[in-house]
Chains A and B, each alone.
Chain A
Amino acid sequence: MQMPDKKKYFNRNFLYVGTLIATVILIPYFLRNDYYLHVLILIGLHAIIVLGLNLLMGYAGQISLGHAAFYGLGAYTSGILTVVYGFHPVIAALIALLFVGIIAYVVGVPSLKLKGHYLAMATLGFGIIAGIIFNEMKFTASHLDLPMGGPEGITDIPKLYLIKYNLNIDQILSLKLSDITGVSQVVPNLYAFNIVLDNDLKYYYLVWTFTIVILILSSNIINSRVGRALRALHTSETAASTLGVDIQKYKVSVFVISALFASIAGSLYAHFIASVGPSSFGFHKSIMLVVMVVVGGMASIWGSIFGAAVITLLPEVLHVFEDFDIIIYGLILMLILIFLPEGLTRGVIDRVKGRFFK
């Protein structure tokens, strides 16, 4: 009796993850323009959402056309709690996670009883309703005396920090020192205890740490009992249920998990971009997320990263075509779907294999 290639699978996966980590660490050293760092952070955030969406769509076979709403709910909850109520960003993100989880459960339970086009319509409707709420929601941050919400969204979201002393000790000390020496001085070392992610490079590493952790978690889920249950119900709900898989429970669970991933990305996005507006989380965004899943490759963990990268980068690259960029963008998507219908990862690998290892 031959043993399966479990060992080999893990070794190979370690290699891939190692390569990804090395790439992530090294890339900033080759960038000459801070703007690219900004794009890389967006890719990381998109990859987090796409990983979750791929669990839902690629593996469990359930579509969601409203996932930008969860992204937006995460971002808005983080933004509102930190700006208006002065919560610590980490606490705000955790509350966002809980809140999005509950919303996803409430939306998921009835929606996931539907199949195919009907499920697409239900999630689409949810996404649009969330978009309207983002657009209409208005309130005032009393202590800031700023009107918030509406089309402008939430502004002045603080940078993410873990510890931030705000005691003005340095000021006091420098005053005293200046009394003695007669020269104004700053004592910078006291800030060494603060952990504030105030520049893009630090934030880049933070976001990609999340991306890689979520990638590993997703990969573990897929290659486990629950992952097999998800893949099984994708092909045959009947057969899966006669083997004891609680179809509805698994569908709702994976829906909630994918929403949680989106919420994490949303919170990270809010503290990165400092202001969140409704236009970032509309129908268009939901479609882009689905496109990332499809272009990267359905049921492909690594494809999620590639899909997020390609679709996020493409508009940046196509700027050179100026007014024609959107046409060329569409054309490229069509070509990918016609010639690599299984997505970039699987499609390219199959082609390379077909050519060289016949």
Chain B
Amino acid sequence: MILKILDLSIDFGGVKALQQVTFNVKEGQIKAVIGPNGAGKTTLFNLITGIFPPSSGGIHFDDVKIDSLKSHKIAELGVTRTFQNLEIFDNMTVLENVMVGRHLRSKSGFFESAVRSESTKREEREIIESSLDYLDFVGLSMRANDMSASLPLGFQRYLEIARALASEPRLILLDEPAAGLDEKETEDLMGLIRKIRDKDITVLLVEHNMGLTMEISDEIVVLDHGELIAEGTPREIQYNKKVIEAYLGEDDVST
């Protein structure tokens, strides 16, 4: 088990956004978190990546308790993410965005950077080369020198993925990677997510697109009103009564 979530709860001024959520993620699998709007999926991601701490319960990554750690410490351990409402560094080029992702894999400080020491120069070359590799991996290398804000939405999602991958995580959290993508792009995205898994990176994703979720996930957990109502393979979830009641009842899932 690469990630263990135990009795995780959080209140926002009385609103119970998550209540006693418990599930595990196995190393090397693609796991999806689904649920209607407001079910607490993004909140769950924010807790795992340390954006805010839980009210109670625990999160363990590789048997290290991470629920009281700060985001950058969790990232150091090997967990990164993308964002539903894109958080691109829009004052930088596409390549520079990915280069920020190499932060953890390099170590020049202020002084070495200021005097541009030999080790910094070497490191900088390494950062550029590997960042270009990651751009290539998501198919964006031809846009490397464009300003990131000029990319269309779909490419910005890919850029976030490349940036997250550049930190060489062991677990990547994808927050609605298919939101706003058309059918063709979604198809490509599925290929990309599988490619990520093939690099031995565990994938946990939140997704509204049922087609994508059912097709690529090894396991699915379903949240509703902050509670975990089901967990299982895509097939089990499809036929789960509670899920159909809570989820399919109010959301048209024709895909």
Interface residues of A (CB under 8 A from B): 1-6, 217-218, 220-221, 224-229, 231-232, 234-236, 238-247, 253, 257, 299
Per-position 1/0 for B100-124, Cβ under 8 A of A: 1111101111100111100010011
CB closest chain-B residue, reference A299: B91
Q: Which of A4, A236, A246, A253 contacts B87 (CB 8 A)?
A: A236
CB closest chain-A residue, reference B145: A4
Judge whether B144 is part of the interface by a CB distance below 8 angstroms. Answer: yes
Q: Which of A2, A4, A220, A228 contacts B100 (CB 8 A)?
A: A228
**Residues of chain A contacted by B74 (CB below 8 angstroms):** 242
Judge whether B247 is part of the interface by a CB distance below 8 angstroms. Answer: no
Q: How far is the CB of A293 from chain B (nearest CB, A)?
A: 16
Q: Known contacts being A225-B103, A225-B123, is A243 close to B110, with CB within 8 Å?
A: no
Could you tell me the distance between the alpha carbons of A231 and B90 in the complex, rounded to whole angstroms?
10
Could you tell me the distance between the alpha carbons of A2 and B141 in the complex, rounded to whole angstroms?
7
**Residues of chain A contacted by B3 (CB below 8 angstroms):** none
Could you tell me the distance between the alpha carbons of A299 and B96 in the complex, rounded to whole angstroms?
15
- Evaluate contact between A240 and B141: CB separation under 8 angstroms: no
Judge whether B51 is part of the interface by a CB distance below 8 angstroms. Answer: yes
Q: How far is the CB of A254 from chain B (nearest CB, A)?
A: 8
- Evaluate contact between A232 and B75: CB separation under 8 angstroms: no
**Residues of chain B contacted by A220 (CB below 8 angstroms):** 113-116
Q: How far is the CB of B82 from chain A (nearest CB, A)?
A: 9
Q: Known contacts being A234-B91, A236-B89, is A224 close to B113, with CB within 8 Å?
A: yes
CB closest chain-B residue, reference A214: B114
Judge whether B83 is part of the interface by a CB distance below 8 angstroms. Answer: yes
CB closest chain-A residue, reference B123: A225
**Residues of chain B contacted by A4 (CB below 8 angstroms):** 93, 95, 128, 132, 144-145
Interface size class of B (residues with CB under 8 A): 35 or more
- Evaluate contact between A227 and B89: CB separation under 8 angstroms: no
Could you tell me the distance between the alpha carbons of A247 and B91 in the complex, rounded to whole angstroms?
17
Q: Which of A225, A231, A299 contacts B89 (CB 8 A)?
A: A231
Per-position 1/0 for B133-170, Cβ under 8 A of A: 00010000110110000000000000000011001000
Could you tell me the distance between the alpha carbons of A218 and B120 in the complex, rounded to whole angstroms?
15
Judge whether B76 is part of the interface by a CB distance below 8 angstroms. Answer: yes
Q: Known contacts being A1-B136, A217-B115, A220-B115, is A244 close to B90, with CB within 8 Å?
A: no
Closest 10 CB pairs of A and B: A224-B113, A239-B87, A241-B71, A244-B104, A244-B75, A217-B114, A236-B87, A232-B100, A235-B89, A246-B72
- Evaluate contact between A226 and B89: CB separation under 8 angstroms: no
Q: Would you mind naming 6 contact pairs between A and B with Cβ atoms under 8 Å apart? A: A4-B144, A217-B115, A225-B123, A226-B110, A242-B164, A243-B163
Q: Which of B70, B75, B92, B136 contacts A228 (CB 8 A)?
A: B92
Judge whether B49 is part of the interface by a CB distance below 8 angstroms. Answer: yes
- Evaluate contact between B72 and A245: CB separation under 8 angstroms: yes
Q: Known contacts being A220-B115, A234-B91, is A247 close to B127, with CB within 8 Å?
A: no
Q: Known contacts being A242-B49, A242-B75, is A231 close to B145, with CB within 8 Å?
A: no
Extra contacts besides A225-B113, A229-B100, A242-B51 (20): CB < 8 Å: A1-B136, A2-B141, A2-B145, A4-B93, A5-B145, A221-B113, A224-B120, A225-B124, A225-B127, A231-B92, A232-B100, A236-B88, A236-B89, A243-B80, A243-B163, A243-B164, A244-B167, A245-B72, A245-B103, A246-B72
CB closest chain-A residue, reference B49: A242
CB closest chain-A residue, reference B149: A235
Q: Known contacts being A2-B142, A226-B109, A227-B113, is A242 close to B81, with CB within 8 Å?
A: yes
Could you tell me the distance between the alpha carbons of A257 and B104 in the complex, rounded to whole angstroms?
22
Could you tell me the distance between the alpha carbons of A234 and B92 in the complex, rounded to whole angstroms?
11
CB closest chain-A residue, reference B124: A224
Q: How far is the CB of B142 from chain A (nearest CB, A)?
A: 7
> Which B20-71 residues have a C-beta within 8 angstroms of A?
49-51, 70-71
Judge whether B223 is part of the interface by a CB distance below 8 angstroms. Answer: no
**Residues of chain B contacted by A236 (CB below 8 angstroms):** 87-89
